[in-house]
């Protein structure tokens, strides 16, 4: 066990005793603000550790009350009571772990490490509690005669299986092993994410010669100038945040500089101070050992049991069904771009990885006379916010009212009161758009608290989306975002709608608490509106002239929708394939992380390999997020959404009847029923991979 962590926890404990004696801890009080908004204006770093300790103490007391109840175990006094136990701890976690990702610092990162043993101890206190499991098992065994409602029965089944899948049926010695492995895994995943963030922030491409800016659009140059000022550098500074890295790769005419920043991005956490190569294998090994302790051959077998796909064989077959027709299409895409590049001055016989974005962007601009620079002036973030929120109004009758009076955790965050057509409060919605050193890369939706009903009182959710969109440059009233960022906004907002429109009793079964391979359906279906002319015309206006985006430009967006569809499909399938390769091992590979990844992905290569690069060391979805043995779910959900959106296309993209059915059968239901059944209730049939291939224009022959 890490003695540094123990020392840190003891130090924090001593400090927290003084804090709790002298001050009220805002994390330990239910907020009296509108909608239960967190008291971000009062929460300080020193509040977290005592709040965790008190939250764990209260949660354990609530578990003890269940265990020591002299009455016969019933659904209400055991299963339902456990579902609602730990309310204070859940509130503390909901705030702390979200800020750890969105607005972190060294103190929060240290607390995360210090609190891990405490949280692991509580998790084991519940999941390995023999007396508690005995009560749950007693209720489970007589479930057929209890007359439970459908959601109650599903909660009972979920609770029983959850205990079994977390070691409740293990013997005493194996339970100790399980607990130790779980704690090691928690610390390893924390370390992985910390290294990725640190490696990302450690790199800056500082350009001082103006000639090296050749090809870069004005907005990117202005942003780089501003970044350089913030970092006290001369000239222009580009970093590995996507609003900086992505456009640089697409537009820079300086091939050597593209190679430099590409290499930096794709060797993050490979060797050096923030090395994750050993941590990847450690995480996989720990997951595998835990799965085998529980009776599964591999971690993938364990993880997939509770998902729509059910088995690794199903997932691998699904990935193959998409890869087989997509790989030839991807290689044809590369040949097409190479031919264009050679016809326009490119002298090599093959495109390198750092050439791809540059030449594919030029080919796209030539083929569709469309580039990111053409679109961005029409996509003011403020207009896009209004349009995305307005889409929820058209589809579901929701209204968003900004509440600047409610506290936020960072000045860039906006918060909205969400109401339905009757005026019913549905949620508070937080939106955090811009990159900063304290925020990890990417985009995600999360919640501070979920929707549930307890003691007849409904608690509406606190929902948040976090992105890393282009910041407004000096002199700009509103940020200008890319079309890709608009698509990302719609994606995360789809997740947010899943949380906002939740209706149910039990927090573990509402909103986005669904199978990993179902959770992306509500998000990915929303991306379709980014390509619908009727929708774009309603808000896309030039930030200087106010001119509506011209019809011909909108048509180019539509025409370019499937541009490089084969290549992009294969790239996403790469992530799913490497994920399954890591998590389908029965024993950890003796190969190094980089070597293993290269071997797995070699049959599916479409560009030449770049020595030393590796995606495994920086893909937080797999090694510090929740997508282990689940990355395939993005493509799985794409199949679902391709089939589902076809109904909107048939009936109208703003059709309230179709939207109402989607809300009723998908968005509001959570996991109250089997997800395959929920989908059939909406669409009337099971989807097939061909729906996605047809949408992308990829032949299945």
CB contact set of 407 (below 8 Å; sequence gap of 6+): 33, 37, 38, 39, 40, 41, 42
Cross-strand partners of 414: 431
Which residue has better confidence, 616 or 516? Answer: 616
Quick check: 248 and 216 in contact, CB under 8 A?
yes
Q: What is the largest CA-CA distance in the chain?
A: 83
Which residue has better confidence, 698 or 654? Answer: 654
Phi first, then psi: what are they for 398, rounded to 5°? -85, 150
Render the burial of 589-614: b for 16+ CB within 10 Å, e for the rest.
beeebbebbbebbeebebbeeeeebb
202 Cα distance to chain centroid: 23
The residue among 388, 596, 592 whose CA lies nearest residue 493 is 388
Q: Is 203 buried (19+), middle (13-18) or exposed (0-12) by CB count in 10 A? A: middle
3 state SS for 288-344: HHHHHHCCCCCHHHHHHCCCCCCCHHHHHHHHHHHHHHHHHHHHHHHHHHHHHHHHC
Please state the rounded mean pLDDT for residues 597-614.
97
* Number of Cβ within a 10 Å radius of residue 350: 10
Residue 5: pLDDT above 50? Answer: no
Model confidence pLDDT, tens digit, residues 185-239: 999 999 999 999 999 999 999 999 999 999 999 999 999 999 999 999 999 999 9
Radius of gyration of the CA atoms of the chain, in A: 25
The pLDDT value given to residue 3 = 30
**H or E element, residue 214:** none
Per-residue pLDDT band for 18 (boundaries 50, 70, 90) equals very low
Residue 1: pLDDT above 90? Answer: no
Alpha carbon distance 50, 220 (integer Å) = 44
The residue among 121, 130, 126 whose CA lies nearest residue 180 is 121
Q: Which residues are catalytic?
A: 492
Residue 13: pLDDT above 50? Answer: no
Quick check: 247 and 220 in contact, CB under 8 A?
yes
DSSP 563: T
CA torsion sign for 554, 558, 564, 565 is positive
Model confidence pLDDT, tens digit, residues 133-182: 999 999 999 999 999 999 999 999 999 999 999 999 999 999 999 999 99
Quick check: 428 and 459 in contact, CB under 8 A?
no
Alpha carbon distance 315, 113 (integer Å) = 34
Per-residue pLDDT band for 36 (boundaries 50, 70, 90) equals very high
Alpha carbon distance 258, 250 (integer Å) = 9
CATH fold of 3-127+129-169, please? 1.10.1370
**H or E element, residue 103:** none
Angle in degrees, 0-180, between the axes of helices 48-67 and 87-102, rounded to the nearest 10: 150
DSSP 71: S
Please state the rounded mean pLDDT for residues 49-78.
97
Please state the rounded mean pLDDT for residues 374-389.
96
pTM of the model: 0.80
Per-residue pLDDT band for 688 (boundaries 50, 70, 90) equals confident
Model confidence pLDDT, tens digit, residues 246-276: 999 999 999 999 999 999 999 999 999 999 9
Task: Using alpha carbons, list the distances in angstroms from residue 368 to 554, 559, 564, 691.
Answer: 11, 8, 13, 25
Model confidence pLDDT, tens digit, residues 300-346: 999 999 898 999 999 999 999 999 999 999 999 999 999 999 999 99
Model confidence pLDDT, tens digit, residues 452-496: 999 999 999 999 999 999 888 877 778 999 999 999 999 999 999
**H or E element, residue 135:** helix 130-141
The residue among 123, 131, 186, 127 whose CA lies nearest residue 161 is 127
Query: How big is the CA angle at 182 (ends 1 and 286), to the nearest 5 degrees?
Result: 90
Enumerate the domain spans of the chain: 3-127+129-169, 203-266, 277-370+565-631, 377-559+634-696
Residue 370: pLDDT above 90? Answer: no
Please state the rounded mean pLDDT for residues 636-654.
94
The residue among 593, 605, 697 whose CA lies nearest residue 642 is 697
Alpha carbon distance 697, 694 (integer Å) = 5
CATH pick for 377-559+634-696 out of 3.40.190.10, 1.10.1370.40, 2.40.10.220, 3.40.640.10: 1.10.1370.40
Alpha carbon distance 211, 417 (integer Å) = 48
The residue among 365, 581, 391, 604 whose CA lies nearest residue 493 is 391
Residue 290: pLDDT above 60? Answer: yes
Residue 279: pLDDT above 60? Answer: yes
Quick check: 517 and 637 in contact, CB under 8 A?
yes
Residue 700: pLDDT above 60? Answer: no
CATH fold of 277-370+565-631, please? 1.10.1370
Average pLDDT, the chain: 93
Q: Give SS3 for 450.
A: coil
Angle in degrees, 0-180, between the axes of helices 130-141 and 150-164, rounded to the nearest 10: 140
Residue 16: pLDDT above 50? Answer: no
The residue among 458, 461, 462, 447 whose CA lies nearest residue 505 is 458
* Number of Cβ within a 10 Å radius of residue 295: 12
Alpha carbon distance 523, 521 (integer Å) = 5
The pLDDT value given to residue 369 = 83
The pLDDT value given to residue 14 = 33
Task: Using alpha carbons, list the distances in angstroms from residue 422 to 60, 395, 657.
Answer: 40, 15, 18
Please state the rounded mean pLDDT for residues 112-119.
94
CB contact set of 18 (below 8 Å; sequence gap of 6+): none
Render the burial of 263-273: b for 16+ CB within 10 Å, e for the rest.
ebbbbbbbeee
The residue among 133, 520, 501, 488 whose CA lies nearest residue 307 is 520
In the chain, how many H helices and how many E strands? 28, 9
């Amino acid at each position: 066990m890490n003695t540094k962590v123990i020392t840190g926890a003891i130090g924090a404990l001593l400090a927290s005793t003084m804090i709790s004696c002298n001050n009220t801890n805002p994390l330990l009080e239910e907020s009296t603000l509108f909608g239960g908004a967190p008291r971000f204006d009062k929460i300080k770093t020193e509040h977290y550790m005592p709040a965790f300790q008190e939250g764990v103490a209260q949660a354990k007391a609530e578990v003890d009350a269940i265990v020591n109840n002299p009455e016969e175990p019933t659904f209400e006094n055991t299963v339902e009571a456990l579902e609602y136990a730990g309310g204070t701890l859940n509130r503390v976690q909901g705030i702390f772990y979200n800020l750890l990702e969105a607005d972190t610092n060294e103190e929060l990162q240290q607390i995360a490490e210090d609190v891990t043993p405490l949280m692991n101890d509580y998790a084991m206190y519940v999941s390995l509690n023999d007396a508690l499991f005995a009560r749950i098992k007693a209720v489970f065994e007589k479930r057929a005669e209890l007359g439970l409602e459908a959601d109650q029965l599903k909660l009972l089944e979920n609770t029983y299986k959850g205990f079994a899948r977390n070691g409740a049926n293990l013997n005493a010695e194996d339970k100790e092993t399980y607990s130790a492995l779980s704690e090691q895994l928690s610390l390893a995943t924390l370390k992985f994410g910390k290294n990725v963030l640190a490696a990302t922030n450690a790199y800056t491409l500082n350009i001082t010669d103006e000639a090296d800016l050749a090809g870069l659009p004005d907005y990117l140059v202005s942003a780089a100038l501003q970044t350089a000022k913030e970092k006290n550098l001369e000239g222009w500074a580009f970093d590995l945040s996507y609003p900086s890295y992505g456009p640089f790769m697409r537009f820079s005419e300086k091939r050597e500089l593209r190679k430099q920043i590409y290499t930096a991005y794709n060797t993050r956490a490979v060797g050096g101070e923030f090395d994750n190569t050993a941590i990847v294998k450690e995480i996989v090994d720990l997951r595998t050992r835990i799965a085998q302790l529980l009776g599964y051959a591999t971690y993938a077998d364990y993880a997939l049991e509770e998902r729509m796909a059910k088995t690794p064989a199903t997932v691998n077959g699904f990935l193959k069904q998409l890869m087989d027709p997509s790989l030839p299409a991807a290689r044809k895409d590369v040949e097409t771009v190479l031919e264009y590049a050679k016809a326009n001055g490119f002298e090599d016989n093959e495109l390198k990885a750092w050439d791809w974005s540059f030449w594919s962007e030029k080919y796209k601009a030539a083929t569709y006379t469309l580039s990111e620079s053409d679109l961005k002036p029409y996509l003011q973030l403020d207009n896009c916010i209004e349009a995305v929120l307005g889409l929820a109004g058209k589809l579901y009758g929701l209204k968003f009212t900004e509440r600047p009076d409610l506290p936020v955790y960072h000045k860039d965050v906006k918060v909205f009161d969400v109401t339905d057509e009757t005026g019913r409060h549905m949620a508070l919605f937080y939106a955090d758009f811009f990159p900063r050193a304290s925020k990890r890369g990417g985009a995600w939706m999360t919640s501070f608290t979920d929707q549930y009903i307890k003691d007849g009182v409904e608690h509406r959710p606190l929902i948040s989306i976090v992105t890393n969109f282009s910041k407004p440059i000096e002199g700009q009233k509103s940020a200008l975002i890319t079309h890709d960022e608009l698509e990302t906004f719609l994606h995360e907002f789809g997740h947010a709608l899943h949380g906002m429109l939740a209706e149910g009793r039990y927090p573990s079964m509402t909103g986005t608490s669904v199978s990993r391979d179902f959770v992306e359906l509500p998000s990915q279906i929303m991306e379709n509106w980014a390509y619908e002319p009727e929708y774009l015309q309603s808000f896309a206006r030039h930030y200087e002239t106010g001119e509506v985006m011209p019809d011909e430009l909108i048509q180019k967006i539509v025409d370019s929708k499937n541009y490089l569809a084969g290549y992009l499909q294969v790239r996403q399938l790469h992530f799913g394939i490497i994920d399954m390769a890591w998590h389908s091992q029965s024993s950890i590979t003796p190969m190094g992380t980089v070597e293993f990844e290269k071997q797995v992905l070699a049959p599916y290569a479409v560009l030449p390999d770049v020595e030393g690069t590796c995606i495994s060391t920086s893909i937080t979805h797999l090694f510090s997020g929740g997508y282990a043995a689940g990355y395939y779910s993005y493509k799985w959900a794409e199949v679902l959404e391709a089939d589902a959106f076809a109904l909107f296309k048939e009936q109208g993209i703003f059709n309230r009847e179709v939207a109402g059915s989607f809300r009723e059968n998908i968005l509001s239901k959570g996991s109250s029923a089997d997800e395959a059944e929920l989908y059939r209730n909406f669409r009337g049939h099971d989807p097939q991979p061909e729906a996605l291939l047809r949408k992308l224009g990829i032949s299945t022959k």
